[in-house]
Amino acid sequence: MNIVLTMNQLAPTLQTEVSEYQMKQFQELIAKLFQCCQERMQYQCERFGLPDAELRCLGLFGEERYLTAKGIAHKMNVVKSRVSKIVDGLIRKKLIQRIKDPEDSRVSLLSLTPEGLKKLNKINDFLENVHHQVLLQMAPDQRMAVLTNLDILKASMEAVKEMME
């Protein structure tokens, strides 16, 4: 019999005391990981000649063939006027293009240009290589432990996020 429990179902049994040392260590590790990710993002922006917001926006097209400004604003959690500036920058760089929605001419769809697709593929290849190199720094059994624990961390963070809503 296979029983699957959600984090909320497990929460009452998992809530034991957290030592001050564990709290401090957790906060420091999260801060260091975040800083490491920010530094990688800065390097990535410089390497691909795109500001952070444009790089993140371009990445959204990996999941979708067409996006709207409203959809981008929602996914990036920014206001639509900010998206307009980001989109205009990507259009000037010939990485995305505006096309009219065939079903509603009032709506503009955004899609990658061939040049944008090529740049996105290079960015994704770079990210895959970075992640591969990080995993190579660990022994195979450590990789499995890290991946399992990151999954637990993600679920815990999502559970806490739900409690804040």
- pLDDT tens per residue, range 96-121: 999 987 888 788 899 999 999 999 99
Domain ranges of the chain: 27-164
For 97, half-sphere exposure in the C-beta direction (CA atoms, 13 angstrom radius) is 10
Residue whose pair of structure tokens reads 């604003």 in the numeric block = 73
Fold exhibited by the domain 27-164? Arc Repressor Mutant, subunit A (1.10.10)
How buried is residue 15: exposed, middle or buried, by Cβ count under 10 Å (0-12/13-18/19+)? Answer: exposed
- pLDDT tens per residue, range 18-61: 899 999 999 999 999 999 999 999 999 999 999 999 999 999 99
| Torsion 6-11-16-22 (CA) sign | positive
pLDDT at 12: 53
pTM above 0.85, yes or no: no
